[in-house]
Amino acid sequence: MVRLCTTFLIPWCSKKIVVIQQAHLDNGYNKSYNEENGIKRGGREMSKDIVFCGGGNMAENIIKGLLYKKVVLPENVTVNELLPARCEYLSKTYGITAVTNADDAIKRAGLVIIAVNPLQVPPVTKVLNPLINEKTIVLSIAAGIPIKTLENQLGSDRKIVRVVPNTLIQAGSGYSAVCMNGCCDDQDKSLITHVLDALGQIMYLKEDLFNSFSGFSNVGPLWLYKMVEALTDAGVYVGFSRTDARNMVIKNMLGTAVVLEETGEHPAVKVDQMTSPGGVSIEALKVLQQGNFSSALMNSVIAGIDKANSIE
Ligand SMILES: NC(=O)C1=CN([C@@H]2O[C@H](COP(=O)(O)OP(=O)(O)OC[C@H]3O[C@@H](n4cnc5c(N)ncnc54)[C@H](OP(=O)(O)O)[C@@H]3O)[C@@H](O)[C@H]2O)C=CC1
Ligand SMILES: O=C(O)[C@@H]1CCC=N1
């Protein structure tokens, strides 16, 4: 096998990353790649194929991340999707196989990813049940569906992983939460880590924190998108073009994240530093506090978590 180590910039992200390019990848998950990244998989080779059940938004984002990071080759990816038009789009765009019946691929797969909406999970597990075996890893991203429910549908002797995937996969930033049932071993964990690494950061969590993770971290970009929208409107209101206003807000947001990540300082310290006595910032802060900004955010987080709890 020929491997090339390349450093390059992700086009949509300013972070430098190092990727091991494999000129010849003879199995979907490459042992050398894992070892290069400090992830030991042991001797057992994983079946090379991944099957996605459901080819919607999340499946597409995950596929993009996996192909971009060369975790898997297009010929090792099959999507089982009900809509023929969607199958055509996915296969043409990504060079993968997308079909309305993937029974054969599921039988061969090492990893099956359930990426349908929660209500569609029972019909999907019904299809999977006779096709998977004790070596197949079934990974579900369906919000609010616990491992216990999946075990009831698939068997408690099956390897089951529950993931709340990062919603900023295209930026390669943001946490995915993971937990797995007792049938998964260290090698399975290494493999799942390797796969999810391609999407962003990973946090192994106890399942009882999953709903909190969904409502807090997974929904996270929503508050930031809404903030960009509101601040851009404010910029337009005071006379900037929408483009200029949006650009200023986005650069401020990126810069703020970099400063906090790199310094590790508390945001309140940064606010203290920029509020000059009797100045502009402290005036803006006063009015923000009158609008109950912090309380609105906390209540919104709690509402999302309550909803996640109610689905489960
Ligand atoms: N969107 C997000 O940001 C996040 C989503 N999730 C979870 O990811 C899952 C998928 O979400 P998302 O991608 O947004 O949803 P989508 O509705 O975009 O995708 C689901 C896809 O599955 C197809 N489908 C339905 N039933 C079946 C079936 N029996 N077999 C195969 N395919 C089927 C649907 O087709 P059709 O349209 O014809 O029904 C649709 O294309 C959900 O469970 C959600 O909770 C988790 C975290 C974040
Ligand atoms: O809104 C949802 O149901 C999913 C879970 C968190 C983000 N999207």
| Distance separating alpha carbons of residues 13 and 191, to the nearest angstrom | 25
The yes-or-no verdict on residue 45 having pLDDT over 80 is no
| Distance separating alpha carbons of residues 129 and 308, to the nearest angstrom | 26
255-277 per-position pLDDT tens digit: 999 999 999 999 999 999 999 99
Of 75, 66, 76, 100, the closest CA to residue 86 belongs to: 100
User: 262 and 256 in contact (C-beta within 8 Å)?
Assistant: no
Task: Read off the pLDDT of each residue in 52-59 and give the average, rounded to a whole number.
Answer: 97
Centre of ligand 2 from the C-alpha of residue 271, in Å: 31
Centre of ligand 1 from the C-alpha of residue 52, in Å: 10
CA-proximal residue: ligand 2, atom 2 (nearest): 143
- The number of the ligand nearest the C-alpha atom of 117 reads 1
Who lines ligand 1 at CB under 6 A? 53-59, 80-83, 86, 115-118, 120, 123-124, 141-143, 164-165, 167, 218
State the pairing for strand pair 97-99/159-164: unpaired
The alpha-carbon radius of gyration of the chain (Å, integer) is 22
Give first-to-last CA distance, the chain, whole Å: 46
**CB neighbour list of residue 263: distance below 8 Å, 6 or more residues apart:** none
Centre of ligand 2 from the C-alpha of residue 216, in Å: 11
14-28, 36-50, 161-175: least confident range: 14-28
Buried b / exposed e over 11-31, threshold 16 CB at 10 Å, is: eeeeeeeebbebeebebbbbb
Who lines ligand 2 at CB under 6 A? 143, 167, 214, 218-219
- Bigger pLDDT: 167 vs 235: 235
Is the CA virtual torsion 75, 79, 80, 83 positive or negative? negative
User: 138 and 121 in contact (C-beta within 8 Å)?
Assistant: no
User: Which CATH number, 3.40.228.10, 3.40.50.720, 3.40.50.300, 3.40.50.12780, labels domain 44-217?
Assistant: 3.40.50.720
143 is in an annotated binding site: no
Task: Read off the pLDDT of each residue in 8-16 and give the average, rounded to a whole number.
Answer: 33
* Residues linked to residue 18 through DSSP beta bridges, in sequence order: 7
184-198 per-position pLDDT tens digit: 999 999 999 999 999
- Confidence grade of residue 55 (pLDDT, cut at 50, 70, 90): very high
| Distance separating alpha carbons of residues 228 and 218, to the nearest angstrom | 18
- Confidence grade of residue 27 (pLDDT, cut at 50, 70, 90): very low
- Confidence grade of residue 311 (pLDDT, cut at 50, 70, 90): confident
Task: Read off the pLDDT of each residue in 71-85 and give the average, rounded to a whole number.
Answer: 96
User: 134 and 162 in contact (C-beta within 8 Å)?
Assistant: no
- Bigger pLDDT: 165 vs 26: 165
* Residues linked to residue 201 through DSSP beta bridges, in sequence order: 175
- Average pLDDT of the chain, as a whole number: 86
Q: Which of 119, 120, 211, 214 to mutate to test the pocket of ligand 2 (most atoms within 8 A of CB)?
A: 214
128-178 per-position pLDDT tens digit: 999 999 999 999 999 889 999 999 999 999 999 999 999 899 899 999 999
The yes-or-no verdict on residue 22 having pLDDT over 50 is no
| Distance separating alpha carbons of residues 28 and 105, to the nearest angstrom | 14
Q: Would you state the structure tokens that stand for residue 300, as one six-digit string?
A: 């919104």
Q: Would you state the structure tokens that stand for residue 8, as one six-digit string?
A: 């390059």
The yes-or-no verdict on residue 3 having pLDDT over 60 is no
- The number of the ligand nearest the C-alpha atom of 164 reads 1
* Count of other CB atoms within 10 angstroms of residue 245: 20
Domain boundaries, the chain: 44-217, 275-312
- Bigger pLDDT: 91 vs 14: 91
- Bigger pLDDT: 9 vs 72: 72
| pLDDT on residue 91 | 97
User: How far out from the chain centre does Cα 49 lie?
Assistant: 20
**CB neighbour list of residue 38: distance below 8 Å, 6 or more residues apart:** none
User: 112 and 106 in contact (C-beta within 8 Å)?
Assistant: yes
